[in-house]
Amino acid sequence: MKREALIVLFAAIFVLMGMASVSATCTLTPTLVSQDPYPAVPGDYVKLVFQVTGMANADCGSMTFQLVPNYPVSFDPGTSQYFTAKGGIYAQNYNSNLVIPYKVRIDPNAVDGNTTMDFRYYPSNTENYSVDNYFNLSIKNVKSSFETFVKNFNFATNTMTLEILNTGKNDVNALTIEIPPQQNFTVKGPNLNVVGSLDSEDYSTADFEVSPHEGNMKITIFYNDITGVRRSVNETVYFNPAQFEGRKTAASSGGAWGWIIFIAIVAAIVAYFFYRRHKKNKKKKLLRE
């Protein structure tokens, strides 16, 4: 029991001596100098650049730096979270500061706000002693989502009207709808329609001249998010021209009845005019007699 205690004591002394040695002769100051994009987007990558001052000191020896992959930050398979550098020989572009870049992925379910990252370093020959530095990573879901459906189809002109609803939490700019080339659907004229700005929970429409075929039609929605990044969303819209045939008949019937009523009114006015004229002439004739 005493032997085990002595081993633990000597190990602790060794670690403390290592800490004292490093801290006395090697002072490192890590800084997060860049986050791209800012804020980071859940489900996307973010590029992080750390700068470490003090590595120009040869007494630092070989140091290992690590960005700890704590949630919601993760590394792709095969991508290292470690970076090793030797003190006293690092210099780049007349700058003695060490620059360490990382490209990490943000979990799709990450919530908006700041999350804490752990950036640590330690002598390369031991992991028993490490210095942890904590930095904030800003996260915000700047993406948007949409619902799109066929609002109307005009058989006379083959004009399809798409209605698009911004179901996301963010407003979007430069919204554009494209019907890419595909089987069963032929677009005459432009296959792009610029909608413009669209607020959250608001809707707009876009018209295309499309061949009246039934089936699933692929569309692509382009937009600029609130950070100015251009994004795209692929969607599928089901189109059945038969659903709009009744509307066409109803519209034609309504238009015919409109003309009938108009003609009847005009006929009534003309008849009344001739009746008044006839009555007036008859009155004059009686007065002459």
pLDDT digits (tens, 9 = 90+) for 81-112: 999 999 886 555 566 789 999 999 999 999 99
pLDDT for 6: 41
State how far the Cα of 145 lies from the Cα of 200, in Å rounded to an integer.
9
- Regarding predicted confidence, which is higher, 253 or 289? 289
**Is-contact 219 206, C-beta < 8 A?**
no
Peptide bond before residue 39 is cis, with ω within 30 degrees of 0:
yes
- Specify the range with the lowest mean pLDDT, choosing from 13-17, 60-64, 175-179, 196-200: 13-17
State how far the Cα of 133 lies from the Cα of 65, in Å rounded to an integer.
11
- Specify the range with the lowest mean pLDDT, choosing from 22-36, 95-109, 242-256: 242-256
Burial of 189 (0-12, 13-18, 19+ CB in 10 A): exposed
State how far the Cα of 92 lies from the Cα of 260, in Å rounded to an integer.
87
φ, ψ of residue 202 in degrees (nearest 5): -110, 165
Summary count for the chain: helices (H), strands (E): 2, 16
| Those residues with Cβ within 8 angstroms of residue 214's Cβ, 6 or more apart along the chain or in another chain | 239, 240, 241, 242
* Torsion, Cα of 239, 245, 251, 257 (10° steps): -170
pLDDT for 182: 93
- Structural domains in the chain, CATH included, are 26-139 (2.60.40.10), 146-244 (2.60.40.1230)
